[in-house]
Amino acid sequence: MKERIERLKKLTYIPQQEIVWLIEQAELLVKQQEIIEENKRQQEVTVHQFRQAQKDIQHLNGDRKRYKQALEKIITNLNFAITVAQNELDGDVK
């Protein structure tokens, strides 16, 4: 293709067949550029979605940690309440 373009640059008259070829090449380049631009746009959207997903995961991990700590406190309190109730029952039985 490069050789053909270089040969055409040297011509003073460009045959119709060569003009058609040049137009086809220009149209192909325009289509390729459109595809490249669309791919770039899709890549930017994907990167944005990925970053948002990372933020969501961090947020969920924080929530999970807080829920786990709250549940551990509830379990500790329940165990204490059970122990107190057992001690009271044991005191009533004796």
Please give the pLDDT value at position 14.
82
Per-residue pLDDT of 20-46, as tens digits, reads: 998 899 999 999 999 999 999 999 999
* Phi (first) and psi of residue 11, to 5 degrees: -80, 145
Distances (CA, A) of 68 to 9, 65, 82: 74, 5, 21
Hey, where are the domains in the chain? 2-93
Please answer whether residues 44 and 58 qualify as being in contact, where contact means their C-beta atoms are separated by less than 8 angstroms. no
Please give the pLDDT value at position 94.
56
**pTM given for the model:** 0.57
